Amino acid sequence: MLTSENISGLVYCFLCLVFVIPPQEVAAAGLTIQNLFGGLLGDERVDFIKYHIRRASVTLVVHAFLPLGYVLVIAWTNAEQYIYQFSSLALLIQIGFISSIVLPLAAVGCVLLWSQDGWAHHPLMLKLKNLYPSNEPSRSSVAVANAINVEMRRPDLFSSGHYSQKVHVTDNWIIKIGTYNLDIAHQTNCILSLCGSEEYTISEESPHGVQMLKIDVRPVDKSQSPFIIRLRSIDYTELRSKLHAPVVNARNIVVKQTVTELFVDAFTETVKANPPYTFNPEVAGYELEPCMGCMQETANVKIVKLCAPPGEGDCQECYCKPLWCIDCLAKWFSYRQDQNNTQTWLSGKAGCPMCRAKFCMADVCGIGLS
């Protein structure tokens, strides 16, 4: 049975999770570090490096206070046990209580130390001076920060990702924004390679799903740490246009760069879930022919009205024989949808390429040879 103490703890943990990893709805409502402490952080476009040093420092302090908040919530729900009888608690619980107080104090102490001399002691400022290639003249951390700030104000900046996990690419720099730090590499001093991809059928960004690419950014200088950036496949072409060197794809990862390619996958999955169409050459009196669209694949789909009983609904009977492969029919279907409103594609309708009979995705059946 859940006690009030357990319920309060679970609610607090849930709120902390939403605050630390906010969904888009929470971020849009302004419940983020950037918005809540905007006056303290300054303007990102004016001084990009100092802005993110302050942001990361404030984030560290705020997150360090979260365990203390949990302790206070638990103590408030059961003050008799956790406050007045503290000495009788188990040793691990006592250590947890004390650690929740020491942790934010240590975080505040670190931030105060880093902030001396205009944040000159912050770990990010200390590593900036080593970012340029070894064959170029050495520069101070301030000079490197100023160079990055100037490029971040240019209008042709490439950006991808959410507010706390963004990737920026300028004419010379690759920058990944993390929760507590920035990963930065000079374009001429690193090698980029495509190291993996992840596909999500459900995404808040697209009703057709999304493919996320993982790109390894590995500095030539071994003293610098490599890092991985993640971006949507539809942003890949724009990213490559900003890079000085090509992205190595040694694993031959297939990059789905357009919304249409993603839709073809969603279309195919839907058709696989539909009842199959049984095709018998002897009964039909003909063999399946190459697809009329690509002339490479054999026709493997048939339009059969299944979404509603005959005579009902907007969809119509199609009497054409199988002439298309599933990829070509999916592309035909997508081209006849509202190109400015991709969210309606899955529920849309199109006409048969031959007889123009209206059909929806529920009417497309894969062909199973018997």
What is the CATH number for 200? 2.30.29.30
Compute the distance between CA of residue 360 and CA of residue 357 in angstroms, rounded to an integer: 10
How confident is the model at residue 245, as a pLDDT?
Answer: 87
3-state helix, strand, coil in the chain (%, to 5): 45, 20, 40
SS3 state of residue 290: strand
Distances (CA, A) of 236 to 250, 260, 368: 16, 15, 37
How confident is the model at residue 370, as a pLDDT?
Answer: 40
pTM for this model (two decimals): 0.70
Query: Under a CB-based contact definition with an 8 Å cutoff, are residues 143 and 224 in contact?
Result: no
Most confident of 12-16, 128-132, 264-268, 321-325: 321-325
Please list, in sequence order, all residues whose beta carbon lies within 8 angstroms of the beta carbon of residue 148, skipping any fewer than 6 positions away: 48, 49, 170, 173, 175, 184
- Asked which of 102, 121, 140 is the last residue of a domain, the reply is 121
Sheet containing 167-169: order of strands: 158-160, 167-169, 173-177, 182-186
From the list 165, 185, 182, the residue with the least C-alpha distance to 230 is 165
In this structure, the answer to whether residues 139 and 101 fall within a common structural domain is no
- 269-273 long-range contacts, Cβ below 8 Å, gap at least 24? 269/201, 270/346, 270/361, 270/362, 270/364, 271/301, 271/326, 271/361, 271/364, 271/365, 271/366, 272/366
Q: What is the mean pLDDT of residues 150-165?
A: 85
Q: What percent of the chain has pLDDT over 90?
A: 40
**Tokens, residue 109:** 């102490």
Please list, in sequence order, all residues whose beta carbon lies within 8 angstroms of the beta carbon of residue 214, skipping any fewer than 6 positions away: 194, 195, 196, 197, 198, 228, 229, 230
Most confident of 81-85, 98-102, 104-108: 104-108
In this structure, the answer to whether residues 107 and 28 fall within a common structural domain is yes
How confident is the model at residue 88, as a pLDDT?
Answer: 60
In this structure, the answer to whether residues 163 and 103 fall within a common structural domain is no
Whole domain around residue 68: which residue ranges?
A: 4-121
How confident is the model at residue 2, as a pLDDT?
Answer: 61
In this structure, the answer to whether residues 112 and 185 fall within a common structural domain is no
**Tokens, residue 269:** 């999955």
In this structure, the answer to whether residues 245 and 305 fall within a common structural domain is no
Strand partners, 134: none
Q: Dihedrals φ, ψ of 209, to 5°? A: 85, 175
* Average pLDDT along the chain: 86
* Tens of pLDDT, residues 303-315: 999 998 888 888 9
Residue 89's pLDDT band (boundaries 50, 70, 90)? low
In this structure, the answer to whether residues 251 and 134 fall within a common structural domain is yes
* Tens of pLDDT, residues 164-177: 678 999 999 999 99
H or E, element range at 190: strand 190-200
- Asked which of 95, 121, 147 is the last residue of a domain, the reply is 121
